[in-house]
Amino acid sequence: MGSGTITTKDGVEIFYKDWGSGQPIVFSHGWPLTADDWDAQMLFFLSHGYRVIAHDRRGHGRSTQTPDGNDMDHYAADLAALTEALDLRNAVHVGHSTGGGEVVHYVARHGMERTAKIALLSAVPPIMVKTKDNPGGLPIEVFDGFRTQLAANRAQFYLDIASGPFYGYNRPGAKPSEGIINNWWRQGMMGGTKAHYDCIKAFSETDFVDDLKKITQPALVLHGDDDQVVPYQDAAVLSAKLLKNATLKIYPGFPHGMPTTHADVINADLLAFIKG
């Protein structure tokens, strides 16, 4: 207990934190962050008697800065390796943003028997990029722009995201927190630039429609209607329709990073869902 690493079949070390006892809640973070992005949730659910686990995705944070395998198939397999190594059963899987994609891909492919419930927060499924089957998606040029900016000056790009759209700090009347901005930047810069570059394709172009259709467990789908990173109409609304047993909640005015900026509200709603 505490923290540790597991080694995957392809030799990647995955860092994780594992605190407490009781029903396990497993947290999957967003791009390009780390398990630390769940601090507000980890402390809250630990204090409510749950076992809380969060890992750094491959290429992110304290996990191996791997130059390859930065795709949803590997992310899901890594999460499966972690849940098996820790022998987690009756687990609740909570995913934010890219982590929401990781959760549905993991559960549909590997985790049906070990998983009790899932929660998707500001999550990327069903698919972010605009295609003929997903006319409401964002044009590929948006993601190409991310790649260009990351390759040119990752440090500045990350500062711009954290101080702007991620937390809604670019909105009139917003009160930016220097600590939150610095912590986002710190987490981002811990990871590998190649992994982060490749992950843009993973979170934007992976199609999760079939995964969502397979999942029968109760699902909570939460999204802010002022999410400037993952627009809610093409994400949460569609995911909730594809899931067999979903509850959808849209928060007026909440940003993409709402688990941090509105932790009190999100934690209370997650707790009610997990207990329910």
Which of the residues are catalytic? Answer: 97, 227, 256
In a 10 Å sphere around its CB, with 0-12 CB exposed, 13-18 middle and 19+ buried, how is residue 197 labelled? middle
In the block, residue with structure tokens 């899931």: 243
User: Which residue, chain included where needed, has tokens 């962050």?
Assistant: 33
- Between CA 57 and CA 100 the distance in angstroms is 12
The two structure tokens encoding residue 127: 């698919």
In 10 A of CB 106, how many CB atoms? 29
Of residues 221, 238, 245, 210, the one with CA closest to residue 109: 210
Q: At what angle do helices 39-47 and 263-275 cross, to 10 degrees?
A: 50
CB 107 within 8 Å of CB 80:
no
Q: Are 187 and 36 in contact (CB under 8 A)?
A: yes
Cis? peptide before 231, omega within 30° of 0: no
Q: In this structure, are residues 195 and 66 in contact, taking their beta carbons and an 8 Å threshold?
A: yes
